[in-house]
Amino acid sequence: METLEKQSESLDAPQAPGVEGADFSSSRQQSSAEAHVGGTPLEKQTDGGTDGARVLPLRRLRILTVVAPIAYLIVVEILSLLILNPLLGNREALRLFVIFLLIVAGAVPFSLWIFSTIERQQRSLAASAAVLDSVHDYAIFMVDAGGNILTWNPGAERVKGYRADEVIGRHFSQFYTPEDQAAGVPAANLQKAAAGGRFEAQGWRVRKDGSRYWADATSTAVKDEAGAVVGFTQVVRDITERREAEARIRKLNDELGQRILELREANAEIVRRNRQLAAINTAIVSVSSALDLGEVLQNIVDAARELVHSRYGALGVADEHGHILQFITSGLSHQEREAIGPLPQGHGLLGALIKEGTPLRIPAIGSDPRSYGFPPNHPSMTSLLGVPILFNEKPVGDLYLTDKLSAEEFTDEDQELVMLLANHAAVAIENARLYEEVRTARDRFQVWNEDLERRVEEPTREIERYSKTLTTRVLQAQEEERKRIARELHDDTAQSLSTLLINLDVIDPHIGAENETLRTGFQRVREIAQRTLDATRALSHDLRPTILDDFGLVAALRWFADEFMRTFGVAVELHTEPPNGQLTLEIELVLFRITQEALTNSGKYAEANHTGVQLSFPDGTAKLVVEDDGKGFEPATRRGPTRQGGLGLYGMHERAELVGGILEVESAPGQGTRVTAIIPVAAEPAMVGHEGSLGNETC
């Protein structure tokens, strides 16, 4: 009975609001009250024991412990009056004994049931307390309706630094920052929890030592059976590390976005460089494939018009007074050009570019005050891009482009590309002019030669030597320009692309494998840069292979044969003999250029299945034979440089003759082609000018 009384006292002790039967006098019983998280009173939960019996509400249990014994005694008394008294009569002792037995028979089972109910209640409280005591990552505590702390779990002590005896009974606002306290945040949070049943918020909280941490706090209203709010459960978690991690992630995302932007800019720069390389290639082709001035001018204006996608183009050459001497057009038919009439006189915007010598970009020609108007039958034109062609800072021509096809006006990039093309076009024009001078002089000397040959043999030889010297200067200038461009491509463009690849390799480890889109875009940028670098190096080698200077003719021929097979897919059978002595650089360069031109012509036009190159050195000569089994041609139709072709063969003949050699071309339609060059190697070098030989010139 003493145990029952103690348990009854425990059950009748003062209770926390909304938590019937929970005694907060001890820390374990204080922790057990946390089982109300979510607003479910403890007495409504099921027992955690094995019997699964229902835990009765304590109020109902109190009523039952009072009413049941009284009801049972009333029943016993009724039985005594109605049954025992008539049966036993005056035997009072026996009647009392029977009544005692009836009371015992009812009191003992009832007492056992009461004890088992109390034990289940105690086990439920102990289980709840054990669960809360095992939680160390969350601060879980209860406050009453006014915000005063009622319970405290070990997790709360770990998170906030206070022991239970230091905070029980104090207001929970002490955990907020002074700023939040002044703003009334604690009371407002309780009001929101009471109104909605639950309220979650994040913010700064203060520990016992004064340090701050970023907390995720959930307040849940606890209501009694009538639905009135009697308190709140508080679940607080320290998420400072998570917040810092999220901040780091945001920072990394920002850095990643910046890297993506940089990669996009790098990709745009690569695209721009590719267009510039295309412009360079166009200019180089003009320099290498044509020497006739009219053809060079036409090639330049056609390339410029295609480069910036303009409808019309023109290239004007003016004298020192600004009068246009030549005006080459592109995009106009022959009939349209004839209908326009004579050459322009250099008035209006054409004259402005000639006089000012600076780039000119006009969105609408008609609205510019300098516009002079169009002659009759002239097609309508809107936008204009004009660029001067300068050689050694002196004007040699002007490029005019009108009506951009893909936009309303020309852009800065268009202007930059055309200026880049103009820089190389200037070299092409100057080389063509020089060649024209040489050809004119050679033709003039040939006339003089025919007149003077019979009279003065020695002056004739002097004239021939002078003609060769002039031609040599042209080839020197061409080889010097090839070497200069090749060196610029190798030292500037290729190095810049290599630096870009190195920077991409540095960035590569910092790009996470989980971002597939960025990884794919990055690899695509790197592949484009690598392809551009390979193309630049190949172009540099085509212009002036360093292997010729470094390792000699045989190695250069092997290299070019491999390049030819990779480019055209045609096998090259190469047979070489070691030279009897040391070949001069002039001889090596002539033999290499003839091989290069012959194989290139075969790859482009012959449609051959097999090609062969033989180099031998019989009787103090170098004999070079290049042949293929292609479709062949009629050599008589290729006897000189014309608009229909012949420049390659003409150049090979000139190179052979300038070192005292000969070149023969044997071909017929359907019977392949055979090019034979015989160069004396014992004679003194003939390709010598006032600036040095063709093989060891400097740029």
Phi and psi angles of residue 644, each rounded to the nearest 5 degrees, phi first = -90, -5
Pairing, β 324-330 against β 310-318: antiparallel
| DSSP label at residue 238 | E
* Predicted pLDDT of residue 306: 86
- How far is the C-alpha of 583 from the C-alpha of 490, rounded, in Å? 27
Q: Is the dihedral of CA 467, 471, 472, 477 positive or negative?
A: positive
> What is the helix (H) or strand (E) element at residue 692, kind and residue range?
strand 692-693
pLDDT score of 134: 66
222-258 b/e (C-beta count within 10 Å ≥ 16 → b): bbeeeeebbbbbbbbbbeeeeeeeeeeeeeeeeeeee
Residue with tokens 């009748």: 12
| pLDDT at residue 217 in the model | 94
Residue 467 has a pLDDT of 58
Q: Report the alpha-carbon distance of residue 415 to residue 78 in Å, rounded.
A: 120
pTM for the model stands at: 0.34
Query: In whole angstroms, what is the distance from residue 41 CA to residue 35 CA?
Result: 8
Nearest to 239 by CA among 147, 138, 373: 138
Report whether 45 contacts 55 (CB < 8 A): yes
**Regarding beta strands 571-576 and 610-616, do their DSSP bridges make them parallel or antiparallel, or are they unpaired?**
parallel
CATH tag, 290-412:
3.30.450.40
Which residue(s) pair with 613 in the sheet? 574, 626
Q: Alpha helix (H) ranges present in 135-239? A: 154-160, 164-167, 178-183, 185-196
Report the first-to-last Cα separation within the chain, whole angstroms. Answer: 119
Element (H, E) at 596: helix 585-601
Instruction: Classify 413 as helix, strand or coil.
Output: helix
Residue extent(s) of CATH 3.30.450.40 domains in the chain? 290-412
Residue 213 pLDDT: 93
Residue-level pLDDT at 277:
76
pLDDT averaged per 10 residues in sequence order, the chain, 699 residues: 35 34 35 36 38 57 80 84 78 81 83 80 68 74 92 90 92 94 93 92 93 94 86 92 90 93 90 74 64 81 87 85 81 85 74 82 83 77 88 83 89 87 81 81 80 64 62 60 61 66 73 76 79 66 64 85 88 88 81 89 90 91 93 77 59 84 92 93 46 33
pLDDT of residue 491: 58
| Measured distance CA(343)–CA(327) in Å, rounded | 7
Report pLDDT for 26. 35
- The most distant pair of C-alpha atoms in the chain lies apart, rounded to whole Å, by 188
Q: Looking at the chain, which residues constitute the CATH 3.30.565.10 domain(s)?
A: 545-693
pLDDT at 16: 34
Give the pLDDT of residue 381: 87
Model pLDDT, residue 426: 82
Question: What are the phi and psi torsion angles at 534 (to 5°)?
Answer: -65, -45
Q: In what order do the strands lie in the sheet with 138-144?
A: 138-144, 229-238, 212-223, 198-206
Question: Options 3.30.565.10, 3.40.50.10260, 3.40.50.720, 3.40.50.800; which CATH number does 545-693 get?
Answer: 3.30.565.10
Distance CA 56, CA 529 (A): 79
Q: Which of helix, strand or coil describes residue 51?
A: coil
Hey, what amino acid is at 649? Answer: L
Q: What is the pLDDT of residue 249?
A: 93
> For position 251, what pLDDT does the model report?
93
Instruction: Specify the pLDDT at position 466.
Output: 61
Q: Is the separation of the CB atoms in 233 and 34 below 8 Å?
A: yes
Q: How far apart are CA 389 and CA 368, in angstroms?
A: 23
Kindly state which CATH superfamily the domain 138-238 is placed in: PAS domain (3.30.450.20)
Question: What is the predicted pLDDT for the residue at 168?
Answer: 92
Q: 303's torsion region: left (phi>0), alpha (psi -120 to 50) or beta?
A: alpha
What helix, strand, coil percent values describe the chain, rounded to 5? 55, 20, 25
CATH 3.30.450.20 placement within the chain: 138-238
